[in-house]
């Protein structure tokens, strides 16, 4: 057998035996996603009056 199926089987045995680990994994996953969204949207801060008029993606402008 390959290593990945064995690792997944062992992981699910641990999750079934101690479901608290799954709760911790999901919690840290959502924190990771939230931090990534926070970092992504920090690039779109207000920059003068231009922020109110349009949003720029590459060379395209989306007017409000």
Q: What pLDDT sits at residue 52? A: 59
Q: What pLDDT sits at residue 59? A: 83
What are the sequence ranges of the domains in the chain?
3-63
Q: What pLDDT sits at residue 57? A: 79
Cα 11 to Cα 14, 27, 59: the distances in Å are: 5, 17, 46
Contacts of 38 (CB under 8 A, 6+ apart): none
Q: What pLDDT sits at residue 39? A: 84
Q: Read off the tokens for 18.
A: 């101690």
Please state the pTM of the whole predicted model: 0.51
Q: What pLDDT sits at residue 18? A: 93
Strands, E assignment, 1-64: 54-57, 60-63
* CA pair distance 3, 55, nearest whole angstrom: 47
pLDDT single digits (tens) 11-63: 999 999 998 999 999 999 999 999 998 888 777 665 555 455 777 777 888 78
């Amino acid at each position: 057998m390959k290593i990945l199926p064995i690792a997944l089987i062992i992981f699910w045995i641990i999750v079934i035996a101690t479901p608290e680990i799954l709760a911790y994994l999901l919690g840290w996953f959502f924190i990771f996603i939230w931090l990534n969204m926070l970092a992504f949207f920090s690039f779109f801060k207000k920059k003068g009056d231009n922020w109110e008029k349009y949003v720029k993606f590459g060379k395209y402008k989306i007017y409000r």
